[in-house]
Homo-oligomer: A and B are copies of this chain.
Amino acid sequence: MTVPNFELELEVRDYELDFQGIVNNAVYLNYLEYARHKYLDTRGLNFVQLHQQGVDLVVSRNEIDYKSSLRAGDRFVVCVSTERVGHVRLVFHQQILRLPERTLCIKAKVTGVALRNGRPMPINELPAI
């Protein structure tokens, strides 16, 4: 990943830990999604408003490498870069880095598609990304 377009700083909350004392593997997807939505917001794309207009951005594929676990109280950044693939797919390259050392915890490639009334629509018909 080169320079990310966007970074969001967050903190682990105790209720996100599982019985092993580490952040559960599904919770990282929440972190990744939250950062994507915040990033797209900065580009004028709001998920909830789009939904109300009949456009849903949905995940079609997730590839997640878990490199190191986050634990209670850890602070981290979620990085987001985007890449268009063809006409209908938008790929998010994301990382989660533990602070303060920026240790790589998660490396993710998330593929999204836009659906208008349930059918794929060209990404370039969305407002500028």
Contact = CB atoms under 8 A, between A and B. Distances in A.
Interface of A: 13-15, 17-22, 24-27, 29-30, 33-34, 37, 46-48, 51, 56, 58-66, 69, 72-73
B60 A72 contact: no
B72 A65 contact: no
Interface of A is mostly: mixed
A13 to B, nearest CB: 5
B20 A18 contact: no
Nearest to A13: B34
A25 B18 contact: no
Nearest to A63: B63
Given A15-B24, A15-B34, A25-B29, 15 more contacts: A14-B18, A14-B33, A14-B48, A19-B48, A19-B51, A25-B62, A26-B27, A26-B29, A26-B33, A47-B72, A60-B66, A61-B65, A62-B62, A62-B63, A62-B66
Contacts of A34: 13-15
A37 to B, nearest CB: 5
A20 B51 contact: yes
Contacts of A13: 30, 34, 37
